[in-house]
Amino acid sequence: MADALRHRDETLASLFNVQDRVALVTGGASGLGLAIAGILADCGARVIVADRDEQRLRAAVADLSARGRADAAVVDVSDGGAMAHVAKSIVARYGRLDVAFANAGIGGGRPPPARRYRAGMTPGLALWRDDPGCIANAR
């Protein structure tokens, strides 16, 4: 088992070099977002986990901190202004934002209002029109 884990770690490190990068993962307190945040932390990135569920977020960051460098950002991704603030805060604190994994979904299975889609975008990927500094949100 130890050899398999070592091989996995070596493979990830060679394919997925994010050592000392700053990464934001939205919807990172559970599910796929938490798994991605864990891989980023395992590979040496400083991970900022963003989620609206503060209790799950704190638990996730505590777990991730044992694996690497992790911080929390309590935010609802449906609020473009709040997301822009998170991105700007990350850059202000760490000097950059290298990776953004837009995992959080919005709308409870329904698409956001059409006015929020940028012309030409596919329904699965929306950019907030009213704040170009905001990060893309994939549903």
Count of domains in the chain?
1
- Report if pTM > 0.75: no
Asked if the structure places residue 10 within a domain, the reply is no
Could you read off the pLDDT tens digit of each residue along the chain, which spans 139 residues?
A: 788 888 877 876 677 688 899 999 999 999 999 999 999 998 899 999 999 999 999 999 999 999 999 999 999 988 889 999 999 999 999 999 999 999 887 555 555 555 454 554 444 444 443 434 444 443 3
12 in a structural domain: no
The domain that holds 49 is classified in CATH as 3.40.50.720
Q: Is residue 7 part of a domain?
A: no
Task: Select from 45, 51, 93 the least CA-distant residue to 73.
Answer: 51
- Residue 117: inside a domain, yes or no? yes
Cα 72 off chain centre by: 10
Report the alpha-carbon distance of residue 124 to residue 133 in Å, rounded: 19
Which pLDDT score is estimated for 12? 67
Q: Residue 86 falls within a domain, yes or no?
A: yes
- 5 part of a folded domain: no
Whether residue 83 lies inside any domain: the answer is: yes
On whether residue 92 sits in a domain, the answer given is: yes
Alpha helices in the chain (DSSP H): 2-15, 31-42, 54-65, 80-94
Residue 25 domain boundaries: 18-138
Q: What are the backbone dihedrals phi and psi of residue 138, each rounded to the nearest 5 degrees, phi first? A: -90, 135
